Amino acid sequence: MNSREQFLNTINHRQPDRVVIDLGSTAVTGIHVHAISKLRRHYGLQRKPIRVIEPFQMLGEVGWELIDSIGIDVVGAWGKNNMFGYHNHSPYKEWKTPWGQRVMVPMNFNVTYDEKGDVFMHPEGDTSIPPSARMPKTGYFFDAIIRQEPIEEDELDVENNLEEFGLITEKELEHWKVEVDKAYYSGKGVIAAFGGTALGDIALVPAMQLRHPKGIRDVAEWYMSTISRPEYIKKIFDKQSEIAIENLKRIFAVVGNKVHAVFMCGTDLGTQGSLFCSVEQFDDLWLPYYKRMNDWIHQNTQWKTFKHSCGAVEPLLEPFIRAGFDIINPVQINAVGMDPKRLKEKYGRDLVFWGGGIDTQQVLPFSTPAEVREHVLKNCEIFIKNGGFVFNTVHNIQANVPVENIVAMLEAIQEFNGKKS
C-alpha cells in the first residue's frame, strides 16, 4: 500500500502495514526552521534558505526532498494568510534570523527592532501600526503582545470578538482549491486547517492579525471570562460556529473529499498536571459548538476532525468523543494521566492518536540517541495496534534539538517498520 492507503487505514482504525508518519503538515505537528536546516545537512541535501511556513512559531517547510528521505505520509494544505494577516505564499524574500540563519519569508514579513535587538512583527506586515508579536534577540519564535483595551463591562460587544470571523471570499476559495489539489495529487494523506473553527484558542485570542483588536484580547482575561462571563463567551462561540459551518459548506463545494482530515481546534484545555476546566464546564461551554461543527462535517463529508489540546486531558477524552472529534493531538504522554498503554486500551477504538510518538520536553532534546530509540520503539508498539496512530512528536520539534536525536527517532521508526538497513 502507498502512503495514502496506509494513512486511510490508520485513521479508520484498520491495521496498517506500518506506522505512518507526519512531520510538518500542521502548525502543531511541525519542525522549527533551524532544525530542518540541520536535518537537510544530515541527509546530504543541498544547503539553501528554508521557507518559513508558519512565522509565529518559525516552523519550516519540510520540502519534498526531506519528505522522501524521511518517508512522511501526510502533507498539509495551508491557508492563504498567516497568523499576522498577510499573504503566506510566494513571492518570497530572504531574511536573516537573530540566530544567523538565512530563511525565505513572504514579502510582507516586515519586522522592526528595538535597541536590545528584539524583533517585532506587525499586523498585516504594516510597520506603521504598533507591533502584535515579539521575538527576543536570543529567542527562536514570536510571542504575542497583548493589546487589550480597557474593558467597560456595560459596553462589551460580542461583535468585537467576532471581527476576525467572516464569510470566506472567492479568492480564498480559489486558493483552497489550488492548495488542496497540490496536496492531494502528491499521493499522500491530506490534512487542512480551514480556520474559523477554533473556539478560544489562546494563540488566536490576541488577534495578532488585527490592527486594533477590540473585545476580550488578554489571555488571562479570556480564561477568567470563561468563569465570569460564560454567556458572553457562548454568544461568541454560537455565532462563530454558525459562520464556520457556512464556510465549510463553501469550501467543501470546491475541494470535496480530497481532504482527509481537518485541523479544527488548537484550544489547550490542560496543564502539565490538571485541566483548565472541569468536565462539566467543558460540556456546557465548549461541547455544543464543537459538536455542531463536527456533526455537519460527519453528515456531509468524509473528513476526519482533528482536536489539539496539550496537557493532562485524559478526563476530557470521552467528552471529546461525544463532541464528535475523531483525532486527538499531541497526546502529551508525559502529563499526568496520559499513560500510552491506558490511553490506547480505553480510547483507542474511538480516537486516533496523532502524536505521542516521543516526549519533546525531556526525551527528544535531552536523552541519548539510544534512549530516544528505546522510547520510540515502545510507543509505536503500544499505539499501532488496530490502527489509529499517526506518528508525530508531542508538539513541534524545536530549534535546538540535537540532530542526532531527531535522526535516532526517525531510524527507530524505520526499524519498527522493518526497513532498517
**CATH code: domain of residue 275:** 3.20.20.210
Residue 388 has pLDDT above 60, yes or no: yes
Residue 28 has pLDDT above 70, yes or no: yes
Residue 222 in any domain: the answer is yes
Across the range 32-47, mean pLDDT stands at 96
Residue 129 in any domain: the answer is no
Give the residue numbers spanning the domain of 214: 3-30+61-84+153-416
Q: How confident is the model at residue 421 (pLDDT cuts 50, 70, 90)?
A: very low
pLDDT for res 1? 86
How many secondary structure helices (H) and strands (E) does the chain include?
13, 16
Residue 2 has pLDDT above 60, yes or no: yes
Cell 460564560 found at: 230
pLDDT tens digits for 361-379?
999 999 999 999 999 999 9
Strand partners, 133: 121, 144
Residue 230 in any domain: the answer is yes
pLDDT for res 41? 96
Q: How far is CA 132 from the centre of its chain?
A: 20
pLDDT tens digits for 179-220?
999 999 999 999 999 999 999 999 999 999 999 999 999 999
Residue 322 in any domain: the answer is yes
Residue 358 has pLDDT above 80, yes or no: yes
Residue 125 in any domain: the answer is no
Q: How confident is the model at residue 419 (pLDDT cuts 50, 70, 90)?
A: low
Average pLDDT taken over every residue of the chain: 97
Total domain count, the chain: 1
Across the range 380-395, mean pLDDT stands at 97
Across the range 303-308, mean pLDDT stands at 98
Query: Which residues, 6+ apart, have CB-to-CB distance to 205 below 8 Å?
Result: 216, 217, 218, 219, 222
Q: How confident is the model at residue 161 (pLDDT cuts 50, 70, 90)?
A: very high
Residue 8 has pLDDT above 50, yes or no: yes
Residue 56 in any domain: the answer is no
pLDDT for res 412? 98
Residue 403 in any domain: the answer is yes
Q: How far is CA 323 from the centre of its chain?
A: 19
Residue 248 has pLDDT above 90, yes or no: yes
Query: Which residues, 6+ apart, have CB-to-CB distance to 11 below 8 Å?
Result: 189, 260, 261, 304, 326, 327, 352, 387, 388, 390
pLDDT for res 108? 98
Residue 347 in any domain: the answer is yes
Residue 277 in contact with residue 226, Cβ under 8 Å? yes
